[in-house]
Amino acid sequence: MRYVTLNNGVDMPILGFGVYQIPPEETEQAVTDALSAGYRLLDTAAVYHNEEAVGRAIKASGIPREELFVTTKLWVQDPGEDNTKRAFDASLRRLGLDHLDLYLIHQPYGDVYSEWRAMQELHREGRIRAIGVSNFFPDRLIDLIDNHDIPPAVNQIETHPFYQRAADQRFMREHGVQIESWAPLAVGRNNLFTHPALTPLAKAHDKSVAQIVLRWLIQRDVVVIPKSVRPDRMTENLDVFDFTLTEEEMTAVTDLDTGTSLFLDHRDPVIVSQFGKARVED
Ligand code: NAP
């Protein structure tokens, strides 16, 4: 496994396992399979409603806690530090853990200032090793950085061959924020797995298109967290450290950028209002 070193010195695996849209009743098995395959970074969220199942799989695995890197995310809260601390305690309880490796503000909506103040405190108390955000564009990111003591260690954003985020990544790098990709495989959209620009690269390296895409992201120093419920694909997605894409091959993927999301626009007022008003029960 390769690691990236975050802006506070914490090492984070560059490749992990995401559990979005895995139903709670299937998540324990999926995470058990992922840990057996060799994943050590797990990515969940309060809003996925599967933290308890992730926690059961962690416990049953017997893997020492210090070998794991567990991320969960804070859903939009009512204002006030106490609400964030309560949500954090609820996530930890569901996960059966006494600390988190990475806690992210899931969406750039609502009173993110009070959320960040609470997260800074939890970090200082040693209950979270690194704190970060998700779905923040550079304008929101710089606002948070300029007005607080601790800058985010990570920004988890949609990043894949059709929405590459090169300028956003440059901005984040300038400010010491590690980019982490959600939907690294674009959830297979735009015929990713059979795309005519990607299949020749897969053939040339005797790899799958999924492996080419994950390798392309990793060579850009992007942390990736592909999701699969299939053990064969979990193993396949981990097996990306024994080959290197040439500069020319990297460029062939770069040419696929459309510069727009395949899923949702976080700046669309309808989304802002809909997500910003939704609440997750603790
Ligand atoms: P993804 O990882 O890009 O794609 C997952 C899809 O690809 C699943 O349908 C999976 O099917 C399939 N797949 C996986 N490996 C494959 C392979 N080797 N060959 C063919 N198909 C393959 O999408 P994602 O789950 O949306 O994103 C990954 C993680 O990012 C999530 O699980 C979550 O942790 C995080 N995320 C965060 C946010 C956010 O707002 N912060 C938003 C979305 C996602 P099978 O399961 O059937 O194999």
17 CA to middle of ligand 1, Å? 9
* Ligand 1 close to Cβ of residue 193 (< 6 A): yes
Instruction: Give residue 186's pLDDT.
Output: 98
147 CA to middle of ligand 1, Å? 34
* Ligand 1 close to Cβ of residue 188 (< 6 A): yes
What is the residue extent of each domain of the chain? 3-277
Closest CA to 253 of 209, 207, 189: 209
* Ligand 1 close to Cβ of residue 271 (< 6 A): no
Distance, CA of 219 to CA of 201 (rounded, Å) = 15
Q: With 90 as the cut, is the pLDDT of residue 260 above it? A: yes
188 CA to middle of ligand 1, Å? 8
Instruction: Give residue 281's pLDDT.
Output: 80
48 an active-site residue? Answer: yes
Catalytic residue among 3, 20, 39, 48: 48
Distance, CA of 95 to CA of 151 (rounded, Å) = 26
* Bridge partners, 253 (sequence order): none
- Cα separations in angstroms, 88 against 50, 69, 84, 123: 15, 16, 6, 11
Per-residue confidence band for 128, with pLDDT thresholds at 50, 70 and 90:
very high
pLDDT tens digits, residue range 173-230? 999 999 999 999 999 999 999 999 999 999 999 999 999 999 999 999 999 999 999 9
User: If you count DSSP H runs as helices and E runs as strands, how many of each does the chain have, helices first?
Assistant: 11, 10
pLDDT tens digits, residue range 151-184? 999 999 999 999 999 999 999 999 999 999 999 9
Q: What is the DSSP letter of 154?
A: E
Per-residue confidence band for 21, with pLDDT thresholds at 50, 70 and 90:
very high
Q: With 90 as the cut, is the pLDDT of residue 96 above it? A: yes
* Residues above pLDDT 70, as percent of the chain: 100
Distance, CA of 1 to CA of 64 (rounded, Å) = 17
Topology annotation, domain 3-277? TIM Barrel (3.20.20)
* Ligand 1 close to Cβ of residue 186 (< 6 A): yes
Mean pLDDT, rounded, for 89-112:
98
Instruction: Give residue 232's pLDDT.
Output: 98
